[in-house]
Amino acid sequence: MNSLAKSWISISADSDFSIQNIPFGIIKHLKTQHISVSTRIGDTIVDLSVLADLGAFSSIKGFDKSTLTNLYLNDFIALGKTVTSAVRLEIIELFKESNKDINQKYTASFLQLKDVENLLPVKVGDYTDFYSSIDHATNIGTMIRDPKNALMPNWKYIPVGYHGRGSSICVSGHTFHRPKGQQKPADSEFPTFGPSKLLDFELETAYIVGKSTTLGESISTEKADDYIFGMVLFNDWSARDIQTWEYIPLGPFLSKNFASTISAWVVTLDALEPFRTKGYTQEPKVFPYLEYRGNKNIDIKLEVAIMPENSSETVICNSNYKYMYWTMEQQLAHHTINGCNVNIGDMMGSGTISGPEPHEYGSMMELSWKGTKPLKLNDGSERKFINDHDTVILRGYCQNENIRVGFGECKAKVLPAN
Amino acid sequence: MNSLAKSWISISADSDFSIQNIPFGIIKHLKTQHISVSTRIGDTIVDLSVLADLGAFSSIKGFDKSTLTNLYLNDFIALGKTVTSAVRLEIIELFKESNKDINQKYTASFLQLKDVENLLPVKVGDYTDFYSSIDHATNIGTMIRDPKNALMPNWKYIPVGYHGRGSSICVSGHTFHRPKGQQKPADSEFPTFGPSKLLDFELETAYIVGKSTTLGESISTEKADDYIFGMVLFNDWSARDIQTWEYIPLGPFLSKNFASTISAWVVTLDALEPFRTKGYTQEPKVFPYLEYRGNKNIDIKLEVAIMPENSSETVICNSNYKYMYWTMEQQLAHHTINGCNVNIGDMMGSGTISGPEPHEYGSMMELSWKGTKPLKLNDGSERKFINDHDTVILRGYCQNENIRVGFGECKAKVLPAN
């Protein structure tokens, strides 16, 4: 791919959806209710099922047009990376500037943003969340345990992870009610019941598994990228007060599974490859099954904004995916070292991504330091945690001197407890 | 239903599959590879798709024959309890003794055990495991923490649960390899890596969700039974050494997700109703959303046997589902009190079911008291945990003076680490 290629579709310089991106998602045409696999270029939605009807992709071996009108990307992903990567490259080719004159017929696949709704891109099977940012784990350990032993003894040996709930994963743009549950106030001997008072976001990314394994099989760090289709932004909403009371000894449960939000467009690992960067130096040395070669972190600039009802937004966090201690490849090798099988459509969350500086912390828990340092928003209000009617927006993109590849928004609005 | 009804199909007195049971499962005809929803009566498999072809169920409003040739029960369950309960009652009617002469044509649906293979009955969406046996939680707390404070402070307020991995749930009869992973021996400063040395079973039951909810909806204890289709036996295989090293602070992960085993036949809640019994007296009083009325425990006799390679089995545990502190109805009310949605095919495990007496403990961890009291098997060998080539078999049934309703076997064999 020529990284300097321009498109004959209009794309603003700051768009996440450059011709080098070509993410995949599921859109519904609002007028016809037609559902299709699509991509986005600038502010233009391109319906891949129409492209295929017009003759595109027909020379790609193993391509199957019927996967483009499904409710989820899973069957498209199941065609394999050889096919899906070729589809992406053909789209880039179709819409690059030099091919404008010969490809005018493909404008029939174009839709405007206002005419479509993004649906959940993937039918998530099993969902796992990791805990792989060292700054986040250190901050939490410092706050709730001991600053001198902030990291648990296992943290630098194991990419710690746990199973989450797939059913409550929603696509960007949804609303949800503040969860109710049991909490035990620090000054009370007994628990109470009611709406969570400490609702928090968690700035994460997640990757979508693109190739299945069978029970008993393990994936090496070297082969792991073959099993990673692409990435999304992920807000792992958390109710801190419910979490504190419930999580010992078996981990977070109702404090997490009331709702999670992912961005609508799955950005392929292919599109992210130009932004690979060096990983964390891991000391102590990891076990052989966790060793990896090359640059496996990715320089993804991340931000979080809070938008109160009828007000403008305030950016409260700027972080970066490059701060991850454990890479996706290590997470997948660890997840399968015991023979656990993975399936296409499984989702693996990064865990909250915090950087070393206070403005890079990826949750209110850290940003307000457990509520002791309220944040000031542009409208003059303060936040220790997230209020009813607040919309929380995650954004993320990669940028070098030539190209920008991004995720768009991952946003959701909190409604009062019902 | 006449609880004394006999069948014109031959059924031995000690069969789990009486005419009052009529569980649902998925079988594959070994000769034709045909797959169908089936039931089992005595040692006879009854193919429901053939019954339907012969005219059965045609008067049941909402019945849909096409659900009977699916790979999973999910679409059949989705017809709703009104339909599936009517199907069960019609099967009982077809095969009761007094209808022998008029229903001979239905023998065309009969298959012998040797001619079929049981497949996984349900496509499991999300899987949750609870921790609801007070004797089990007390034993574990006593062993790994403090006998005087064996239960965590939250245990009597919350039906503690956590999310498990759905992908590695297998149907009875499978094998799996001993998992590898990190462990930290008590006498070592550093972790090691290798096959688990402390492989354990966990005697559990699980229920299958039979009705979906939408995000934001909660299920009351009163309505919970409408959402429970039926139950299976469940072996939540656990690698104790991997678990000890990994589980703080986010719970069990690789120590559980290498394999789990369920029994092949889903026994309906309808069939279990005659065996309801009084629940645990819950002190302190639970929160209103967890209160329930009536007898909601179930008297299910449970046993576990170990069968070494080329040897006979030894029963090492006799327990009972009636010992549960938290009921299924409370678990489901708790799971959804925060608005978490559930889907048809979700599976909810009970947690290890131990009774108060040592021979009623539901895991090797408890039976051998952390390996300090080896068990003697019939072949003269000893077990602290589970060896390679051992087959572990769970069994469960309800029995009163008139009828027996059971689950058959839930078994799996451990192969050496690969």
Q: Is the pLDDT of residue B228 over 70?
A: yes
pLDDT at B74: 98
The DSSP annotation for B31-86 comes to TT--EEEEEEETTEEEEHHHHHHTTTTTTSTT--GGGGGSSSSHHHHTT-HHHHHH
Alpha carbon distance, N-terminus to C-terminus of chain A: 51
Mean pLDDT rounded to a whole number for chain A: 97
Rounded Cα–Cα distance for residues B233 and B397 (Å): 10
Lowest mean pLDDT among A1-15, A115-129, A321-335, A385-399: A1-15
* Other CB atoms within 10 Å distance of the CB of residue B326: 28
Strand, coil or helix: A141? helix
Q: By C-alpha distance, which of A65, A64, A70 is closest to A34?
A: A70
Rounded Cα–Cα distance for residues A123 and A126 (Å): 10
Residues of chain A numbered 100-139 and touching chain B (CB < 8 Å): 125-126, 128, 131
Mean pLDDT rounded to a whole number for chain B: 97
Q: Which pLDDT band holds residue B5 (cuts at 50, 70, 90)?
A: confident
Indicate the length of chain B as a whole number: 418
Q: By C-alpha distance, which of B323, B342, B327 is closest to B290?
A: B327
∠ Cα B34 B39 B41 (to 5°): 125
Strand partners, A35: A28
Q: Is the pLDDT of residue B366 over 60?
A: yes
Q: Is the pLDDT of residue B1 over 80?
A: no
Rounded Cα–Cα distance for residues A40 and A136 (Å): 33
Q: Is the pLDDT of residue A294 over 60?
A: yes
Q: How far is CA A268 from CA A24, A228, A229, B130, in A?
A: 8, 9, 6, 37
Tell me what the mean pLDDT of segment B38-62 comes to: 98
Question: Percent of chain A beyond pLDDT 90?
Answer: 98
Q: Are B302 and B265 in contact (CB under 8 A)?
A: no
Residues of chain A numbered 181-210 and touching chain B (CB < 8 Å): 181-182, 184, 191, 193
Q: What's the pLDDT tens digit per position in A343-384? A: 999 999 999 999 999 999 999 999 999 999 999 999 999 999
Q: Do domains B25-119 and B127-415 have the same CATH topology?
A: no
Tell me what the mean pLDDT of segment A145-156 comes to: 94
What's the gap between Cα B202 and its chain centre? 11
Q: Is A370 on the interface with B (CB under 8 A)?
A: no
- The encoded tokens of residue B261 equal 């085993």
Rounded Cα–Cα distance for residues B27 and B47 (Å): 8
pLDDT at B193: 98
Q: What is the DSSP letter of B265?
A: S
Question: Percent of chain B beyond pLDDT 70?
Answer: 99
Q: Is the pLDDT of residue B107 over 80?
A: yes
Q: What's the pLDDT tens digit per position in A200-210? A: 999 999 999 99
Across the interface, which of A154, A239, A246 has its CB nearest the CB of B245? Answer: A154
Q: Which CATH class is domain A127-415?
A: alpha beta
Q: Are B307 and B315 in contact (CB under 8 A)?
A: no
Tell me which chain B residues have a C-beta less than 8 angstroms from the C-beta of A253.
Answer: 128, 160-163
Are A126 and B165 within 8 A, CB to CB?
yes
Query: Is B335 an annotated catalytic residue?
Result: no
Q: What's the pLDDT tens digit per position in B309-359? A: 999 999 999 999 999 999 999 999 999 999 999 999 999 999 999 999 999
pLDDT at B164: 98
pLDDT at B351: 98
**Domain extent listing, chain B:** 25-119, 127-415
Rounded Cα–Cα distance for residues B16 and B395 (Å): 10
pLDDT at A5: 81
Q: Is the pLDDT of residue A160 over 90?
A: yes
Q: Is the pLDDT of residue A90 over 70?
A: yes
pTM recorded for the entire structure: 0.97
pLDDT at A256: 98
Q: Is B154 on the interface with A (CB under 8 A)?
A: yes
Question: Percent of chain B beyond pLDDT 90?
Answer: 98
Preceding peptide of B249 cis, ω within 30° = yes
Instruction: Tell which wins on pLDDT, A1 or A304.
Output: A304
Which residue of chain B has the CA closest to A418? Answer: B216
Q: Is the pLDDT of residue A324 over 60?
A: yes
Q: Which helix (H) or strand (E) holds A229?
A: strand A228-235
pLDDT at B3: 56
- Does the domain at A25-119 match CATH 3.40.50.300? Answer given as no
Q: Is the pLDDT of residue A145 over 90?
A: no
Tell me what the mean pLDDT of segment A274-289 comes to: 97
Q: Is the pLDDT of residue A298 over 70?
A: yes
Are A167 and B247 within 8 A, CB to CB?
no
Q: What's the pLDDT tens digit per position in B168-225? A: 999 999 999 999 999 999 899 999 999 999 999 999 999 999 999 999 999 999 999 9
Are B179 and A339 within 8 A, CB to CB?
yes
Across the interface, which of A166, A248, A418 has its CB nearest the CB of B125? Answer: A166
